[in-house]
């Protein structure tokens, strides 16, 4: 199986005298050299503000920026490039929908269905708009295995239900949710659905038209691209009816003190100078992923997941949190009564980077009656040897805390 670690210069270093083993791609993936080079190339040769200049540099920058939008559109199989709204991250994308769609559609007594396994970024924005409108957030329960209870999900719908917000893949459990089925159920009740795809896009084939969800949000930095770039996909008919989320330059058609009219999609939702260089970098990251092939990525990561699950399950006192039938390459666990932060600290001194804490999923921690856990999340640069090093590191942890 091909080793892609060589494409990522940051991984060629030592931490505390040990080779770096990076197992925190769920928080932020590392960047291949081609992405780093694209950002440097832009600043050295092509930098200018976009959409506004008639001169050569501005035209080049605009072309590169809009080319990235089209790459994103093709990568997720959206129907139109104007359905791709470029923002700062998944968090901003969800807030945009909550505030723009929610302000015009939610009223007192309405309900927003949000699953128990959500990241705070797909809980708090809905709580905020619910407080503003007098609506309420209703939790969709999950099973002990970490799967959404579809029978209960179906029963939660009523005339009060106005939105469903659910993750495609859990950042803690790794669970891959049945989005196509959940979308169909929501649409039977004429309810739109927003999908948080931050943990899915780099690890699964995502076909927006097949899923048929109304909104899909994801981030560049979890998909081998730069930080500070996110995407909101929305169906044209919904986006056209939604008011702007922010006001400023480039999102207007005409401004006067009597009345301002707004630009057409996608500009209506893209006020101000955007993160040009990093959007271009994200376009190159998509090129990188497509060159490898999503099927290759899925095969490699599922092999890693199976190998790591077997090895970690064999460690006495280690309990994996979440055993869904379908998972991305994420494993969260607790080890006896050793605090996850202590585990993370010891592993760091072995050169191994894992995440320890509540993973911005406090309601999920409460569901499993744990304050925190350790998470190992894998990317295309990880190998069986990385898993072996993690297992050896955990044995060191156990010896230290005997």
Please give the positions annotated as active site: 360
Residue partners of 320: CB distance under 8 A and separation at least 6:
309, 312, 313, 331, 332, 333
How many C-beta atoms lie closer than 10 Å to residue 220's C-beta? 33
- In angstroms, rounded to a whole number, what is the distance separating the alpha carbons of residues 320 and 190? 37
Q: Which two tokens stand for residue 17?
A: 């005298």
Classify the C-alpha dihedral 382-387-392-395 as positive or negative: positive
DSSP 18-76: EE-EE-BTTT-----HHHHHHHHHIIIII---SSS--SHHHHHHHHHHHHHHHHHHHHH
- For residues 383 and 305, the answer to whether their CB atoms sit within 8 Å is no
DSSP 345-386: HHHHTTTEE-EEE-TT-HHHHHHTT-S-EEEEE--TT--HHH
- In angstroms, rounded to a whole number, what is the distance separating the alpha carbons of residues 38 and 220? 14
- For residues 233 and 210, the answer to whether their CB atoms sit within 8 Å is no
DSSP state, 310?
A: H
- For residues 2 and 335, the answer to whether their CB atoms sit within 8 Å is no
- In angstroms, rounded to a whole number, what is the distance separating the alpha carbons of residues 101 and 93? 12
Start-to-end C-alpha separation, the chain? 38
- In angstroms, rounded to a whole number, what is the distance separating the alpha carbons of residues 115 and 139? 5
- Report the greatest alpha carbon distance in the chain: 73
- In angstroms, rounded to a whole number, what is the distance separating the alpha carbons of residues 200 and 233? 14
In the three-class reduction of DSSP (H, G, I as helix; E, B as strand; rest coil), residue 11 is classed as: helix
């Amino acid at each position: 199986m091909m080793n892609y670690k060589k494409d990522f210069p940051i991984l060629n270093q030592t931490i505390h005298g040990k080779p770096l083993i990076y197992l925190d791609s769920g928080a932020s993936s590392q960047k291949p050299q081609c992405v780093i080079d694209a950002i440097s190339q832009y600043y050295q040769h092509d930098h200018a503000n976009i959409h506004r200049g008639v001169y050569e540099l501005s035209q080049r920058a605009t072309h590169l920026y809009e080319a990235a939008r089209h790459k994103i559109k093709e990568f997720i199989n959206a129907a139109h490039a104007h359905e791709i709204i470029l923002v700062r991250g998944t968090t901003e994308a969800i807030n945009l929908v909550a505030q723009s769609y929610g302000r015009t559609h939610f009223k007192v007594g309405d309900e927003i269905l949000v699953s128990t396994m959500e990241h705070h970024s797909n809980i708090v924005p809905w709580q905020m708009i619910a407080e503003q409108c007098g609506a309420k957030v209703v939790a969709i329960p999950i099973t002990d295995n970490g799967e959404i209870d579809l029978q209960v999900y179906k029963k939660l719908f009523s005339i009060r239900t106005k939105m469903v917000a659910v993750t495609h893949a859990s950042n803690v459990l790794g669970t891959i949710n049945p989005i196509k089925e959940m979308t169909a159920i929501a649409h039977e009740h004429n309810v739109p659905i927003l999908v948080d795809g931050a943990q899915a896009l780099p690890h699964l084939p995502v076909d927006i038209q097949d899923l048929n969800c109304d909104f899909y949000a994801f981030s560049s930095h979890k998909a081998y691209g730069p930080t500070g770039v996110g995407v909101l996909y929305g169906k044209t008919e919904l986006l056209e009816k939604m008011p702007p989320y922010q006001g400023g330059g480039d999102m207007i058609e005409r401004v006067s003190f009597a009345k301002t009219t707004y630009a057409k999609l996608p500009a209506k939702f893209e006020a101000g100078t955007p993160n040009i260089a990093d959007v271009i970098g994200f376009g190159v990251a998509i090129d990188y992923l497509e060159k490898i092939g999503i099927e290759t990525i899925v095969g490699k990561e599922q092999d890693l997941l199976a190998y790591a699950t077997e090895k970690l399950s064999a460690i006495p006192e280690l309990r994996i949190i979440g055993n869904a039938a379908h998972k991305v390459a994420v494993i969260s666990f607790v080890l006896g009564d050793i605090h996850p932060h202590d585990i993370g600290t010891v592993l760091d001194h072995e050169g191994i980077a894992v995440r320890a804490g509540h993973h911005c999923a406090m309601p999920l921690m409460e569901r499993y009656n744990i304050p925190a856990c350790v998470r190992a999340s894998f990317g295309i640069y990880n190998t069986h040897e990385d898993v072996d090093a993690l297992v050896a590191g955990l044995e060191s942890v156990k010896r230290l805390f005997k």
